Amino acid sequence: MKSILLLSVSLVLSCCVSAQDKYDYQWIFSLNTLIEPGIEGMIIDFNDGKREVIEVLTNKRIGLNNASICHPNGQLKYYTNGCEIYDSTYLVIDQGSNINPGDVHDAWCPDGEYPGNANVLFLQDPGDENGYYLIHKNLVTVNNNGAIDVTSPDLMTSYILSTENKVTDKNKLIDSTRLKISGYMEAILHKNGSDWWLIDYTEPVDGGYQLIFKINKDSISLYKEIPYQNSQTLISDCSAGGQACFSPDGTQYAKYCAYGGLDMFDFNRETAEFTNWRNLDVGLSDAGVSGLAISPNGRFAYISNATELWQVDLDEENLEDGLLMIGQYDGFVDPFPTNFAYMQIGPDCKIYMVSTNGVSSLHVINNPNEKGAACNFVQHGLELPYNYSPGSLPNFPVYRFDEADVCDPTITSIFNIPFEVSSHLDIYPNPTSDLLNINYPEDLNRGVFYIKDISGRRVETNVINYSGSLSLSVSDYKAGIYFVEIVSERRVYSSRFVKVD
């Protein structure tokens, strides 16, 4: 009977995980250090139930304009650096060169990097499963009485037909009637599960508008434009230095620049209406780059400037009442300061943060659904084999809306990552109906012990008072799969067990 239950639970777990859309399951980074030929690159791979860092040899550097898309099964399909479009062989696809043509392209792209942040985004064509749109914004230089200004007048698209592995329509104008602010561009699926909403903004000199575009099987068109309430977040200091995102369930939208504060809205995926605007001014005036992410459960927003990370409890009617300091930059250099910059939620339900410098580690919020210090923010918590291009982080739309599938908390780190080691704990008996014994690793002196159910919810939390082992009764647990995790400084030890009746 126990073996039948174990098989059934395993099959359920396998079905749930494989049913997810894994378009964001591989994150690609690179930086040419000029020490050896070629470009040192890496992929953070979230497939097969683990998070693994894979070293690859890419052809060009990937800078602030970093976007990619995977097959539904999680394998890399296409990526871009804002200059060219590449496939999973790391080569430029047919007609994939000369994206964003012009003087800025000619000045920057020989080094493999197009300036500006979050100005590129891959979206699957609602009318053709073999078609992909790359949405991108170009930059142009303007001589303003002797001063050279960089502006972004054009929102464009380039179309990829995967059956031919070719760009069939390139640098096609979507909107060129006003100046766009660099950054903030995000997209989300329509309620119908096929079309897309694309959100962008104009500079205050052009009125400070929020632009909402609709992408359906026939066209990309401007759906509506709305004067934006908080134009302070559209000033030049926020251009490419702020960040926007949707909540994982698609019901909330956030935009943040430290100079203008956090804007929160309720969002209707059917009508593209933004309602219930709330603003939180954290009072940061010398901020530089600002980071933003929303927790998997939608309760917490995380905002940062270069040296501070804050958590905002969105359940509070007054956002200021939910503001908590989570961390301050610890001064670590790697080999440059590992300060705080942009954030992105991972398929493993963790939030990852990059730095503005070329360093070889990412900051990690391990349990973003938890309030305060329990969110377990670890600075430089994921070490990478190479330095990545400063501030580079893949820009993804929201893909999964089913509450059970917005991310997969069962994804665990593997043992060969030096800064966050994840190794199997010695636990027995497994399966168990009552007593569970856990032998601590020999090098463990202190830490926090967790047991989580298959949804990622904590059912047990204890501070470890080291005695070499722990015996725990799980007789009151419901039958199913559970995950044991010990967090000790920068190491994570984990395993899983099955509770049977």
Query: Which residues neighbour 286 within 8 Å (Cβ) at sequence distance 6 or greater?
Result: none
As to burial, measured by CB atoms within 10 angstroms (0-12 exposed, 13-18 middle, 19+ buried), residue 283 is: exposed
Asked if residue 213 lies in contact with residue 201, where contact means CB atoms within 8 angstroms, the answer is: no
The answer on pLDDT for 289 being more than 90 is: no
**Structure-model confidence comparison of residues 486 and 107, the more confident one:** 107
342 close to 243: Cβ distance less than 8 angstroms: yes
CB atoms within 10 A of CB 287: 20
pLDDT at 6: 37
- In whole angstroms, give the CA distance from residue 113 to residue 107: 10
| Top-confidence range, 4-8, 48-52, 494-498 | 48-52
Task: Of 137, 114, 196, give the one whose Cα is nearest residue 399.
Answer: 196
Check: CB of residue 192 under 8 Å from CB of residue 100: no
Q: What pLDDT was estimated at residue 484?
A: 83
Neighbours of 47 (CB within 10 A): 17
* C-alpha–C-alpha distance, residues 45 and 53, integer Å: 6
> What's the whole-number average pLDDT of the chain?
85
Residue 338 contacts residue 379 (beta carbons within 8 Å) = yes
What is residue 153's predicted lDDT score, i.e. its pLDDT? 82
Over range 198-203, report the average pLDDT.
93
Q: Residue 14 pLDDT more than 50?
A: no
Query: Can you tell me which residue has the tokens 């991972």?
Result: 346
Give the residue among 118, 81, 121 at the shortest CA–CA distance from 97: 81
Task: Check residues 418 and 355 and name the one with the higher pLDDT.
Answer: 355
What torsion do the CA atoms of 11, 12, 13, 14 make, to the nearest 10 degrees? 50
Q: How many residues does the chain have?
A: 501
Give the count of beta carbons closer than 10 Å to the beta carbon of residue 429.
11
- Range of lowest pLDDT (297-301, 309-313, 493-497): 493-497
Q: Is 465 helix (H, G, I), strand (E, B) or coil?
A: coil
- Rounded CA gap, 123 and 114, in Å? 20
Q: What is the distance between the alpha carbons of residues 174 and 161, in angstroms, rounded to a whole number?
A: 19
Residue of 255, 238, 253, 112 lying closest to 181 (CA atoms): 238
Residues in CB range of 140: below 8 A, 6 or more apart? 102, 103, 104, 150, 151, 152, 153
Residue 238 has φ and ψ, to the nearest 5°, of -95, -15
Q: Tokens at residue 368, please?
A: 């973003």
Residues 6+ apart with CB under 8 A from 379: 327, 329, 330, 332, 338, 363
State residue 115's pLDDT score: 86
Amino acid found at 469: S
Closest CA to 112 of 145, 78, 84: 84
**Can you identify the CATH homologous superfamily of domain 20-404?**
YVTN repeat-like/Quinoprotein amine dehydrogenase (2.130.10.10)
Sign of CA dihedral 458, 464, 468, 473: negative
403's tokens: 């509450």
Sheet strand arrangement including 67-70:
67-70, 76-80, 85-87
CB 304 within 8 A of CB 319: no
Is beta strand 76-80 parallel, antiparallel or unpaired with respect to 85-87? antiparallel
Strands 491-499 and 422-424: what pairing? parallel
Confidence of residue 149 (pLDDT cuts 50, 70, 90): low
Q: Which of 8-17, 31-40, 214-223 has the lowest mean pLDDT?
A: 8-17
Identical fold for domains 4-10+414-499 and 20-404, yes or no, is no
User: Structural domain boundaries of the chain?
Assistant: 4-10+414-499, 20-404
Of 428-432, 452-456, 474-478, the poorest mean pLDDT is in 452-456
pLDDT at 492: 65
Quick one: how far is CA 189 from the chain centroid?
17
Range 30-50 average pLDDT: 76
Residue 153, φ and ψ in degrees, nearest 5: -85, -25
What is the per-residue pLDDT for 417? 37
pLDDT of residue 7: 37
Q: What is the pLDDT of residue 449?
A: 79
CATH 2.60.40.3080 holds for 4-10+414-499: yes
Residue 455 has φ and ψ, to the nearest 5°, of -85, -5
Element (H, E) at 107: helix 103-108
Strands 412-413 and 50-58: parallel
Percent of the chain exceeding pLDDT 90 equals 51
